[in-house]
DNA sequence: TCCTTTTGAGTTATCGATAACAAAAAGTCG
DNA sequence: CGACTTTTTGTTATCGATAACTCAAAAGGA
């Protein structure tokens, strides 16, 4: 039985007030720093709170004031270089302002996202940051649109009609790699991806990539597996099959850096020379981009800054201020090492 | 002004009840599936809730029932392969049970952790998972110990007297690498690290590593910078200085994999042959361990499983059940590729 | 000195749910 | 058919804080 939990009474504001010999209201005012309270009572209340190790009950506080300090963040997965950085950017801005982030993981699953959204909303967040680029349920969309708190969408360049949208251009990212391949004189390019039906941003990169190639008359060998995870291991597997069928592929674009690294690793082990024999490109995904040499070409996006910007946008919106977000989350080509 | 926020009234249980023509209590019971309610009323209430897109207010619910569904997790940083995995393990177990995780980042900072702990407690979590291996303030320790909810510590093998402790042996990890180096016939080993005063687990790995080496008469070139971040870039910088002073180092142990990769990368660029000329080892930190070939030797820990186990321990404790956690979060040596 | 203003502290109602118990409706049975 | 269950529904109090207001005391002004 969990009596051990319930019989230990937490100390409440009433206890603090009693010890300081004042009313609950006075104690509340002192601890929040509102109203005008004499220096002595203030000190008495503070001392009482300290002595009792008082920890306010935010559930009660928020319920009463109808204002929470929670910013809900919904994203596919925290366990991912991209969104890990984004979250850390959000936190960096939000925490010093006294807000807390509450994170829900959707794992690119529509139904799960639906559930998560409902759950985080039930905590009455003051604001919300949702990741786009996933097929959102009608129900969830409606709920978000009608919910009375500011909602900022990130990651997906396609505005979904919330209170703000902060994202890089995925189409640009795809085009950039295509352009890069073309400049290198690539003849037989290939693409590998996974779960493209779920990750709409990745699909957009691929589409733009393909379009540019087709524009110059290059045919793309396109290989996507809807059931594999978007991870390094899948990269190895897919490239392996691909090279068996088309040993003369000379350029490979991957859904993300994780898959690209997996592919790179397999190619290396199988004796293919990268980038001379086959060029490999990915998308913005490891935390090593700038400090570890790889032969991988990638497109970089300032994820931390993007998170920060989203956080600033939410805070501004919560406070009813106007906010002009940076428009320049440009995708930048980062060439791999050749040595 | 943020009237747009407040004037839109959220639909409450009362609205649902009214629409279904029953009392709030009945509606509440239906939606929570408690008590006995006739099939018809149940359906009416459900329909009303659906029609109104009712989202319960969990703040109110938890306050009233004195029971929250929040599990608080305090860790150094989410934006880190290690803890990202741990969190995802925790989530995997906890979410299907109807709980939510709330994450606080301490960034290895004692004061910040102190503040974070107080903050997460203010949300009245049903249980808590804290990461050890950081110097915790006296105040925070007291608070945790007296707080009436189960608290599980992870990561640090040193039991701190909470309701459970789930961790690998960092000392073993350090010893393993030392042993490995010795078996390879290393003559001049070195160590690089950062922020060791904050990351006590890393310090323990280093200590054990050093001890084994000393035991066989090997002297360690020990290089730690307290001000650098524990990241790849620091690895590059530190090894660079180190090789200048001691060009004959033939083995390098790094605080973690990120730093090791940084070092590896610099060594490679500078023309040192790894592992023939110099062996490089790290600790459990990239998400690529099993799928990307590197020349890096590392010690692997099942982070996802560790998170899951911690989550199971908290849930069990919340429910007042006894729980015998796995004791076998052993550190495993993963040898780097040599080709 | 008396009246007005300012300041400090307290009162009451409320936020949106649930616990605990009470009442009403429906079902049982001799 | 009425007393007795059992099932279903409703009432009241409460969780721990804050909003909005009131009231008393102190300060200021003429």
Residue among B79, B291, B293 minimizing CB distance to A84: B79
Nearest to A226 by CA among A133, A112, A108, A137: A108
CA separation for the pair A218, A178 (Å, rounded): 10
Banded model confidence at residue B325, pLDDT cuts 50, 70, 90 = confident
User: How many interchain CB pairs under 8 A, A with B?
Assistant: 169
Q: What is the pLDDT of residues A230-268, one digit of tens each?
A: 999 999 999 999 999 999 999 999 999 999 999 999 998
B19 Cβ within 7 A of any nucleic strand D atom? no
Distance, CA of B213 to CA of B187 (rounded, Å): 10
Q: How far is CA B117 from CA B102, B156, B184, B263, in A?
A: 11, 17, 45, 35
> d(Cα B257, Cα A335) in Å, to the nearest integer?
23
- Strand D at less than 7 A from CB of B68: no
Mutate to test the interface with B, among A90, A270, A291 (most CBs of B within 10 A): A291
Instruction: Single out the residue of A18, A61, A262 nearest to residue B290, CA to CA.
Output: A262
Best probe of the B interface among A288, A296, A316, A338, by most B CBs < 10 A, is: A288
Largest CA distance in chain A: 84
CA distance A86 to B185: 44
Q: Per-residue pLDDT for A49 more than 80?
A: yes
Chain A residues with CB-CB distance to B319 below 8 A: 2
- DSSP structure string for A216-244: TTPPPEEEEESSS-SSHHHHHHHHHHHHH
Residue B244 C-alpha, separation from nearest chain A C-alpha, in angstroms: 19
**What's the CA gap between B212 and B246, in Å, rounded?**
21
Residue of B87, B118, B261 lying closest to A79 (CB–CB) = B87
Query: Which two tokens mark A286?
Result: 């490891």
Cβ of A68 and B59 within 8 Å?
yes
* B30 vs B19: CA distance, rounded Å: 14
Do the beta carbons of residue A131 and residue A83 sit within 8 Å? Answer: yes
- The tokens for B131 are 């990461």
Q: Specify the 3-state DSSP secondary structure of A29.
A: helix
- Average confidence score pLDDT of chain A: 92
DSSP state letters, B305-323: HHHHHHHHHHHHHHTT---
Cβ A228 vs Cβ A235: under 8 Å? no
Of B149, B262, B318, the CB nearest to A292: B262
> CA of B308 vs C1' of D27, distance in Å?
64
User: Strand B251-254 vs strand B279-281: parallel, antiparallel, or unpaired?
Assistant: parallel
pLDDT for B339:
62
CA atoms within a 13 Å half-sphere pointing along the CA-CB vector of A292: 23
* pLDDT (average), residues B127-140: 96
Q: Mean pLDDT over residues B285-292, rounded?
A: 73
The pLDDT value given to residue B77: 92
Q: Which two tokens stand for residue A216?
A: 């110059």
A229-to-A53, A199, A222, B233 alpha-carbon distances in Å? 47, 11, 17, 29
Q: Is the CB of A188 under 7 A from strand D?
A: no
Asked if the Cβ–Cβ distance from B232 to A287 is below 8 Å, we say yes
Of B131, B113, B203, nearest to B167 (Cα)? B131
Nearest CA in chain B to A317: B2
Q: Which of A201-205, A273-277, B49-53, B58-62 has the lowest mean pLDDT?
A: A273-277
| pLDDT at res. A104 | 95
Would you place residue A35 in the very low, low, confident or very high pLDDT band (cuts 50, 70, 90)? confident
pLDDT, averaged across chain B: 92
CA A192 from centroid of its chain's CA atoms: 23
User: Per residue in B144-164, pLDDT tens?
Assistant: 999 999 999 999 999 999 999
Name every chain B residue with its beta carbon within 8 A of the beta carbon of A80: 84
Kindly calculate the radius of gyration of chain B based on its CA atoms and give it in whole angstroms. 25
Which residues touch A36 (CB under 8 Å, ≥6 apart)? none
The shortest CB-CB distance from A10 to any of B123, B148, B293 is to: B148
How far is Cα B285 from Cα B84, in angstroms, rounded to an integer?
10
How far apart CA A108 and CA A77 sit, in angstroms, is 8
- Phi, psi for A309 (deg, rounded to 5): -65, -40
- Any atom of strand C under 7 A from CB of A41? yes
Query: Residue A229 and residue A107: Cα distance in Å, rounded?
Result: 10
Are residues A22 and A45 in contact, defined by beta-carbon separation less than 8 angstroms?
yes
pLDDT tens sequence across B189-235: 999 999 999 999 999 999 999 999 999 999 999 999 999 999 999 99
Give residue A289's pLDDT.
Answer: 67
Q: Do A292 and B232 touch (CB under 8 A)?
A: yes
Q: Do A143 and B265 touch (CB under 8 A)?
A: no
Residue A7: what pLDDT? 42
From A112, A139, A72, select the one nearest B53 (Cα to Cα): A139
Measured CA to CA, the distance from residue B108 to residue B89 in angstroms comes to: 21
CA-to-CA distance for B107 and B227, rounded, in angstroms?
A: 13
Q: Is the CB of A37 under 7 A from strand C?
A: yes
34-73 on B, CB < 7 Å from strand C: 34, 56-57, 60-61, 63-65, 67
- Residue-level pLDDT at A286: 75
Write out pLDDT tens, residues A102-148: 999 999 999 999 999 999 999 999 999 999 999 999 999 999 999 99
Structure tokens, A100: 């807390």
């Amino acid at each position: 039985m969990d009596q051990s939990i319930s019989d230990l009474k937490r100390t409440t504001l009433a206890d603090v007030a009693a010890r300081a010999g004042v009313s609950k209201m006075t104690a509340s005012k002192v601890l929040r720093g509102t109203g005008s309270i004499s220096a002595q009572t203030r000190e008495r209340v503070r001392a009482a709170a300290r002595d009792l190790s008082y920890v306010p009950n935010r559930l009660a506080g928020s319920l009463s004031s109808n204002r929470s300090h929670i910013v809900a963040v919904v994203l596919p997965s925290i366990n991912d270089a991209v969104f890990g950085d984004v979250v850390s950017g959000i936190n960096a801005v939000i925490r010093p302002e006294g807000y807390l982030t509450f994170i829900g993981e959707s794992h690119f699953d529509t139904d799960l996202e639906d559930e998560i959204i409902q759950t985080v909303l039930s905590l009455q967040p003051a604001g919300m940051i949702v990741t786009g680029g996933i097929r959102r349920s009608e129900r969830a969309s409606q709920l978000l649109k009608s919910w009375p708190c500011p909602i900022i969408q990130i990651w997906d360049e396609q505005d979904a009609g919330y209170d703000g949208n902060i994202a890089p251009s995925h189409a640009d990212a795809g085009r950039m790699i295509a352009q890069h391949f073309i400049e290198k004189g690539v003849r037989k390019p290939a693409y590998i991806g996974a779960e493209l039906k779920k990750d709409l941003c990745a699909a957009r990169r691929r589409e733009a990539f393909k379009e540019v190639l087709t524009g110059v008359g290059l045919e793309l060998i396109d290989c996507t597996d809807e059931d594999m995870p978007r991870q390094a291991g899948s990269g190895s597997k897919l490239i392996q099959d691909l090279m068996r069928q088309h040993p003369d592929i000379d350029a490979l674009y991957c859904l993300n850096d994780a898959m690209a690294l997996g592919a790179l690793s397999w190619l290396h082990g199988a004796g293919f020379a990268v980038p001379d024999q086959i060029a490999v490109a990915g998308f913005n995904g490891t935390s090593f981009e700038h400090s570890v040499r790889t032969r991988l070409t990638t497109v970089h996006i300032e994820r931390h800054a993007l998170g920060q910007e989203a956080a600033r946008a939410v805070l501004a919106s919560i406070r009813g201020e106007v906010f002009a977000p940076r428009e320049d989350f440009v995708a930048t080509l980062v060439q791999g090492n050749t040595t």
